[in-house]
Structure 1
Amino acid sequence: MTISRIRVPGWNTATAAEGYRQVRENFAVLVADHADAAERAVPACPQWTVRELIAHLAEICDRVITRFGGESCPVPETASAAEVLKLWLERGHEADTLLAADSDGKGRGDIMVMDAFTHELDLRYALGVPPPGAHAAWLRGFEVLVRGLGDSLGRHGLPGMRIETEGATWIAGTEPVAAVLAGAPVDLYRSLAGRRSPAQIAAMDWLGDPEPWLRAFTWGPFTPPDAEIER
């Protein structure tokens, strides 16, 4: 077992399609409010500007749609940030339908939601906008990340860890647990998604010595930065 949800009272248990839709809606508002930020660097994705971050999400959306037999609509290289966003918003409705149909219990759409929501947080930090409180993607994104951490713990031969945040607790890896990591939702989420340095992760609220566990935070596409990139 790599993840066990113990309790999530009051958390938004929205569907993957609802979570993905809210990410797109939030992007539309953020980009409209910061129309001059298209070429601004995104610290969490240092190789990307805001426009390139949006293009990545549009390309992932296109990839998912074509995988299920839909028509491909690549992002034009010359398209502006507003044009790329418009393309993503239009194609997102088709992706919502596919996510809603992904009801076999395997949660494959959750990875797409996690990626999109993680990048919404990247955009917010790049623009100096606070993270959201309630969001339809919080829970699904968290569970993908906790599952990934649990798998990483197993690969490193580490026992399980309990992760605690406001209103939710999970077990990553196998029981009995040998460490507890607690914190605010955004701090935990950004740590699990490779957006916090090892020093920042170690400085969080731990029960037990954090040092043996830090290497497990490198997994899949996520590698914690050497130095702090955001608070």
Structure 2
Amino acid sequence: MTGTTRGPIPDPSHHLAYRACRENITRLVTSDLSVAELPVPACPGWSVRDLVGHLVLVCRMAVDEHPGEISDPPPPPPGIPVPELVVTWAALEEQLPRVLPRAEWLRRRILPLDALSHELDLRTALGMPPPAGSPALADALDLAVMGFTLSLHGHGLPALRVRTPERVWTAGEGEPAATMGGGALEVFRALTGRRTVRQIAELSWSTAPAPWLPAFRWGPFTPPTRTVEEVAPTFMVRERHSGT
């Protein structure tokens, strides 16, 4: 029997989770266009418009099947208005079902991770709470733990049990030497460069966290030196939107 061997059909949940993040971000940035130039503390040097521009470029790279790393696209072109960016993004996202079935597995999974991470960055910048029950979170956490596992290997560190109220992972090989726990969103933000070393150490640890802290720097992620609250207190953003 002859023919071409095909891999499994990708889980459409990756696209649907990505779409949910895109729709959430679109609502947030178009409900008040004056937020376009607000800084995004979790992404130093970026404005809200830059964040949306980044997401458009990442989606375009996926649609064009660009061979480069979509986690590190070129900077977005300056000056494109947010309404134009979100229209372009929606049109690009409609093409993802055409290209995702033949995309390699990491690209399929990193799209919703990137979108969720930046949705949370945006919500923090606007002083808004995280989304309730994001469909992107479970798989994004899986992928973040996978990347963290590679970092543990690279640093020659023993395995670490990662625990949230809903799930437990073993990052690394062998019996975990310690457990780190917290809420799912806090663990995700810690694993993806959005929490300082001090904040990571303040998660629930079964032992002193110092040996594992270097592993939180991996891929494009590095713990910031200052918390987002120190850079831009959210109460000031809330006051701006309330007109006080």
- Give the C-alpha shift of residue 41 in structure 1: 0.2
| Structure 1 unaligned spans of 5+ | 1-12, 70-74
| DSSP-derived class of the 1:67 partner | coil
Q: Could you tell me which residue of structure 1 aligns to residue 20 of structure 2?
A: 22
Runs of 4+ residues over 4 Å off in structure 1? none
- Give the C-alpha shift of residue 14 in structure 1: 7.0
Q: Which has the larger radius of gyration?
A: 2
| Equivalent pair of 1:196/1:230 in contact (CA under 8 Å) | no
Aligned residue pairs total 213
| Equivalent pair of 1:183/1:205 in contact (CA under 8 Å) | yes
1:212 and 2:217 are equivalent in the alignment: no
| Equivalent pair of 2:30/2:82 in contact (CA under 8 Å) | no
| Equivalent pair of 1:181/1:204 in contact (CA under 8 Å) | yes
Higher strand share: 1
Correspondence list, 1:98-117, <5 A: 98-99=99-100, 101-102=101-102, 106-117=105-116
CA RMSD, 1 decimal: 2.1
| DSSP-derived class of the 2:131 partner | coil
- Give the C-alpha shift of residue 88 in structure 1: 0.6
1:52 and 2:50 are equivalent in the alignment: yes
Q: Equivalent pairs: percent with the same residue? A: 38
1:128 and 2:97 are equivalent in the alignment: no
In structure 2, how many angstroms separate the alpha carbons of the residues matched to 1:80 and 1:108?
A: 27
- AA in 1 matched with 2:182: G
- AA in 1 matched with 2:83: A
Q: Could you tell me which residue of structure 2 aligns to residue 179 of structure 1?
A: 178
Higher relative contact order (CA 8 A, sep 6+): 1
| Equivalent pair of 1:16/1:113 in contact (CA under 8 Å) | yes
| Structure 2 unaligned spans of 5+ | 1-10, 68-75, 231-244
| DSSP-derived class of the 2:44 partner | strand
Q: Could you tell me which residue of structure 1 aligns to residue 154 of structure 2?
A: 155
- Give the C-alpha shift of residue 167 in structure 1: 1.0
| Equivalent pair of 1:161/1:179 in contact (CA under 8 Å) | yes
1:158-215: per-residue Cα shift (whole Å, max 9, x none)? 0111111121111111121011011011111110010000001001110111011100
- AA in 2 matched with 1:200: Q
| DSSP-derived class of the 2:96 partner | helix
| Equivalent pair of 1:14/1:137 in contact (CA under 8 Å) | no
- TM-score, with length taken from structure 1: 0.86
Q: Could you tell me which residue of structure 2 aligns to residue 72 of structure 1?
A: none
- TM-score, with length taken from structure 2: 0.82
In structure 2, how many angstroms separate the alpha carbons of the residues matched to 1:190 and 1:161?
A: 17
- Give the C-alpha shift of residue 58 in structure 1: 0.3
